[in-house]
A and B are shown apart, each in its own frame.
Chain A
Amino acid sequence: MALTSTTTGSTQVITVHADRIDAAMAIQFKEDMRTQTETDASRVVLDISLVEFIDSSGLGAIVASMKQLGGDRVLDLAGLHPVVEKVFRLTRMDTVFRLFPSLDDALSTGAD
């Protein structure tokens, strides 16, 4: 699972370079997210615009990544494809995460 990261001020953007986050890569994704988020950034934006598909294991790995951040840091998601967005909506995880149509939308909105 290839993740790249850039940090500007207190915001870290992590980009997922894969077309899916599913059962086959969920554990690796969670571990790579742990490594990438060992930073001081108070807000992490996960850019998943290249991810065309997610299953419930992939969803679970994103939830686990949010928990790994601890209570005072936030994980927002940007660039959700319709199928990915549907998995968040059906499981009601859209009420837990802030979802942005694109990275630009996420970055033009504050961290609160």
Chain B
Amino acid sequence: MTRFCDNGCLELSFPAAEADASSGIATLSARLTEHGLPQHRAGDVKIALAEAINNVVEHAYSDVAPAAVQVTCCLCKDTLKVLISDTGKPLPGLQPPDGIPSEIGSTIQDLPEGGFGWFLIRELTREIRYRRRRGQNELTLLFDLRDPG
């Protein structure tokens, strides 16, 4: 993963609990900026990262003993690669959900309060890869770093 990545990789591991995930996401985002993640992509990366990590905490480790979430971020030439691994339950059907967003509905009481996580991840990434290997989930998110302007 490091071969074409001039700016190197950074790794962070934290317990799969909401408070640890919250501070872990903030730390990763700050360190990515220090490592040269362009400002115009920083917000998108943070949103997608948070949704993917929250999914691990809320779903992969639901009803099983929570262990760690391991995140490796590699800043390559035009691409940021983020690998998120955990030892929780596999994704249903062994593939990432399509991420069809919740319907807004027509009244306030009908408004959805969730169901946007995978939609946001898919909107903000160039590519998503998932595999189950040796009892681990490995989710890779690829972000395009080229300046749209």
Could you list which residues of chain A lie within 8 angstroms of chain B, going by C-beta atoms? 20, 22-25, 53, 55-57, 59-61, 63-64, 66-67, 71, 82-83, 86-87, 90-93, 95-96
Contact = CB atoms under 8 A, between A and B. Distances in A.
B144 interface: no
Nearest to B29: A53
Contact of B22 (A24, A90, A96): A24
Contacts of B5: none
B50 A60 contact: no
A24 B113 contact: no
Nearest to B102: A91
Interface residues of B, number: 29
Describe B's contact surface by its main secondary structure.
Answer: helix
Contact of A63 (B46, B47, B111, B117): B111
Given A22-B50, A56-B120, A92-B104, A86 B18 contact: no
Given A24-B19, A83-B47, A56 B114 contact: yes
B119 A67 contact: no
Contacts, number: 76
B111 to A, nearest CB: 5
Contacts of B22: 20, 22-25
Contacts of B19: 24
Contacts of B124: 90
B54 A60 contact: no
A95 B111 contact: no
A64 B113 CA distance: 7
A55 B104 contact: no
Contact of A87 (B108, B109, B120): B120
Contacts of A63: 111-113
A55 to B, nearest CB: 4
B97 interface: no
B57 interface: yes
Contacts of B57: 23
A23 B116 contact: no
A22 B111 CA distance: 19
Given A56-B117, A86-B44, A67 B54 contact: no
Given A22-B22, A22-B50, A23-B58, A91 B111 contact: no
Nearest to A62: B113
